[in-house]
Structure formats: C-alpha cells, structure tokens
Chains A and B, each alone.
Chain A
C-alpha cells in the first residue's frame, strides 16, 4: 500500500539544494529507535508548516559534545572540524536541532573553530511557527485538567542556553491552553536527568540513579505525561519513570504536539 512520495519527507541537502534551514538530527535520533520518533515528529511538523528544510543525511557526524565533556578534546576537535567543513560546503547559515547538546555544541563549542551559525532548538522554531499561524490550532482542543502534564527542562537547553519559555509555549498550544504542573526545580534551576557529561555512556548503580531521583520529582507532581526537550532526557526519564513502576508517558514536546494535531 505504500506509495513512493514524489518529494522525500526529509530531503537531504543534495535533494533540496535550495533549503533555507538545516535540520540537525544528532546521533540519538539517527540510531536510537525511541529518539527516531522525535525526528519523525519534527519532520511532520516542518512539512505541515511548509518549512523549506534539508538534512545532512549520511554526511552528518556526532557533534562531539560528550567527547569534549568526557575530556577527549582532540576527538571533539576532529569531529567539529569535519562537521564545520561539511556545513561550510553546503553554505549552512541556519540550523534547527531537537537535541540541546547539539544546539550547545553548534552554538558555543564550534564558534572558536570557525563554525558560526544561527542555531535554534526545535521548540523555538515550533513556537514561532505557531505564532505565525503556520501550524494549526489543536482541533477540538479541550484543555485537560491541570496537572496532566509536566515538563522537564534539559540542562543544556534551560540553564546553559536560557531556552525555557519556548517549550512551554508549544506545550500550551498542544494542551489547548491548558497549564503545566511544574516541578519544584524548573527552568534555569532544573535538575539533571543524569545523561550529561558523557554519563549517558557509563554504568550507574540502579539503587542510586540520577534519573530515578528526577523522575520521582516529575511523578510527584501527579502528572500522567512527562514532556521533555532532549533525546537523552527522553531515555533517562523513561528509565526513571519505569524504575518507579509508573505508567506515566515520557514524550518529546514535538511528539505531544503531533499527537494533539493528529498528524
């Protein structure tokens, strides 16, 4: 039943050379099955809003964020230099990424190596698409009772880059104007999911996990859905919620919006 689309849903820079915005996928959404759904949700929204974008496809490499923060500076520089050359080759000026670690690397880590771009997080782009009316209102939206959804601020989004209102604006639209129930530690005062600084790749004693602690704080709000804005937080919070035997869902902000829009 599958019909081959005339236009690829996520064209590469070669397939769409006149792209205006580069969608940076990051390793998690490229390879992790759960995070792939985030990229697919973002692509649906970008296409719906008729955003002229492209992806690097096979030419994208890891930004090197965790290599750098683990202390492997030269591996980071090798990856950064390669990515900067690729981005220069395709004359990339504007980038959107759904991963705050990629956002921070592209925005701050790459600057001293000659990589300077306008970088936004997908929630910032979605918030402006909503404001411009390029994404529709949620059909038949009935605001859920307050306390249904909480939002976990990723460290590298909220604290490090000061992006904490855009995801809330998108969530508010997704919830049909409903309000979030906030965790005690939110926005720049957020608390880590446990994945940063290369900890994503390390073993952690199941009895004392950072993710379990943070998930407890999320579940203590009584929320049935934990929204996140980072693929690593997505993994960690999913594990954390499961550790408490809770059935709360953990979703990226974009996934929640796609679900409510019925895309």
Chain B
C-alpha cells in the first residue's frame, strides 16, 4: 500500500465545516488587524507605491529588484538576524520550524483542494508523502526548540529587550501548538496503525504514539479528535493575534526591508522648493514622517540590538534608539486615536514625546542603523527631528556657535579662511637623488 494518510481523517464533516468557518473568522480578524495598522501608516506623507509598478516588466523589475533582494537576503535567508548569540539561534530555529510547518500546511490544503477537483490530482502519497512526513516531523522539533530558547531569553531578561504581556501568550501558544501538533500525530498513528515506512517516516510521531501504548482504537480516536480541536483553536488564535502582538513583524518586517532604502552615510535632501511648498524644515509632527517611516516603527521587535551598540546610551545620555522608535510608534497610535475621536489637540512630538536632549545626544555613528535586523533608520528619524529644532532656533550653546562660525568663516573654529593653509609653513620637499 502506498504510504499516505487521509486528510481530515477521524474528523467528521460537521467539524470540518466548523473548522473552515472558524478559519475564515481568524483570517478576517487578521485582515482587519493588518488594515488597522495600514490606516495608521497613512497618517504619514504618501510614498509612491504606484510608481513602483508602472512601466514595462523590465522597468518594474529594475525598480523592485533592490527591495526584493533585501527581502530575499535579509528576511528569507535571515542574514540580518545573525550575530546575536542566543537570540539568533532561537530565531533561526523557530523560523525554520515555522516556515516548514507553514509550507507543509499550505501543501496539504492544496492537495485537499485538488482532490475536490479530481482524485487523480492528489499528490499527498507515496515517496512525496514519506519525504513530507519526515521533514515536517523533524522540523517541528526546531519549532519547539526555538520557542523554548525564546522562553530562556525572555526569562533571562536581557536589559535591552523590550517586553509586553502578550509576549508570554505568544510563547505559551507556540509551545502548546507544537506539543498538540505532535500529539495529534501520535494519536493518529495509534488509531491508524500504519506499518513500515508509513509509520517510520514520522519518527517523533511514532515515539509519541508510544505514550499511548495499550489505548484502544476508539480511545485513540476520541482523544485525537479532542486534541485536534485544541490544536486548531490554538492556530486560529495565533493567526488572529498576529496584527495585535509582536508577531506583526511577519508583515511589517519584510515590508520595511522592501521599502526602506539602505542609508549608511546618506541623508535625505531637503530642497528650497519643498520648504516653500510645505512651509517647514524637518519633522515637527508625527504626520510629517513618510508612510514608509511610520511603517518601519511597526517593524520594531524591541530586540534591543540598537540600544546595546549605542555609545550615547552606554554613557548615561538620555538616548536609546529603541526608545525613540517606540516613543514615535506610541505617538503614531495616540495621534490616530485622537484624530479619530475628533480631538484637534494631539500630543506634541517635540518635548512631550521626544526631548531635545535625547536628540542632541546622538553621535550619528550609525551603529544602530547597521545592526537593525529590519533596517529601521533610527539616525534618519533623529536628523529629521534635529532639522526641526534647528529651524526653530532650538540649538544653543557651543554647537550653535560652531554652526555660526561655519557660516561666517567656513570652518567650525571660526578662524580666518586666510589662515587655512598655514599648516604648510616650514614643510620642505626633501631632495633625494
């Protein structure tokens, strides 16, 4: 007999229908949640999404290639997650397990849809089935291992790691999803009694089946049915919670990687024409940031890498790049809520949200920009905000003096331009033969 298993085996039609109905509810909540965040980003100045997809195929590809490359290298291949010890190992493990299980579930559903078109189109059997079962069975362990490592990381409380109560819900639900997934597998083996390759292609499932040795088929079937539902509810809860928890980085992370221009050493240009049109320099209101910049705030996982490398933070200055991002994100949320409630007065960006001292503490060293796994540009935010302060005359003291000297004498020391080459005096060319 070809190794295979029945899709929805042991699950009555009524439960199958309820399963799809609940799946639609979960997806609906997911889409609504994503749409809410999308609306939040629209507070910002528009970016040219349409421009990305106009022109012929070659022109479009030219425009989207750098972004597509960043998504492929930084997100799919996890390049920017590397280099952070336990956090990296935990993420790679969980990512690998999760992506495998997501791909597996998608393939299974595809097979299910095809079977309704024609039983001949079914592919979930034979050698494919053996490879499928074995791969998912093993990679599921990485899913659980990654979750456990994230528990360890969160319990060990690294100083720079941000925390929300929902983080525990996410981790517990991941652990429960992993364990119930294997239990469903083990119980299915108990009642189905596969033999040979069909049993051994799921080594972990087979081992779990050993826990239920001596159970009758009826007992195994009813337990399988119950755990299958628990597992399904956990998965629906997970899908629905993505836009409302840290899991939202699934969406905002790759989106930001696609849209954000890598910017080490580069700053956006402000033109006189722009200033005449908008009547402002820099950013004095959360709505002056671009849609992409606001979106990048949602990509922040508070992993704390930026804070750990910040020289200002390390020397007791009132600056943490992570805090700046999180404070701007909170302002984005409250501003949207205030506007929706018809309030004209929203919390001010400068002083009420971000202090001038915070902004002046930055050395523009770009360490934060360089380590951010999702390419948030903390320095660009800071320079946008500094531009506003400078335009408002908010810079005083020695730095303001240096700027005045640059203006008058073209050097920050304010020394006479005529003395600029005085350092060459007394230098001679050695005439060697």
Which A residues have a C-beta under 8 Å from some C-beta of B? 2-3, 5-10, 12, 25, 27, 29-32, 36, 39-40, 43-44, 47-48, 55, 57-58, 60-62, 64, 66-75, 78-79, 82, 104, 107-109, 112-113, 155-156, 159-161, 188-189, 191-192, 194-203, 205, 208-210, 212-214, 263
Contact = CB atoms under 8 A, between A and B. Distances in A.
B366 A159 contact: yes
Contact of A160 (B264, B311, B401): B264
Interface of B: 264-267, 269-270, 272, 281-282, 309, 311-312, 314-317, 360, 362-367, 370, 383, 385-391, 395, 397-399, 401-403, 406-407, 410-413, 415, 417-424, 426-430
B253 to A, nearest CB: 22
Contact of B403 (A7, A70, A205, A209): A70
Contacts of B412: 27, 62, 66, 200-201
Contacts of B365: 155, 159, 191-192, 196-197
A67 B403 contact: yes
Contacts of A67: 403, 406
A52 to B, nearest CB: 13
A197 B360 CA distance: 9
A237 to B, nearest CB: 13
Contacts of B401: 201
A160 B311 CA distance: 16
Contacts of A31: 411, 413, 415, 419-420
A103 to B, nearest CB: 9
Given A62-B411, A198-B399, A192 B363 contact: yes
Contact of B421 (A7, A55, A197): A55
A160 B360 contact: no
A161 B265 contact: yes
Which 10 residue pairs across A and B have the least CB separation, nearest first? A197-B364, A71-B386, A192-B365, A201-B402, A61-B410, A9-B427, A36-B423, A160-B265, A71-B390, A27-B411
Contact of A40 (B269, B366, B399, B423): B423
A62 B311 contact: no
A75 B387 CA distance: 11
Given A10-B427, A57-B420, A71 B363 contact: no
Nearest to A4: B428
A248 to B, nearest CB: 20
A202 B399 contact: yes
A57 B406 CA distance: 17
Contact of A62 (B390, B395, B406): B406
A200 B362 CA distance: 11
B199 to A, nearest CB: 50
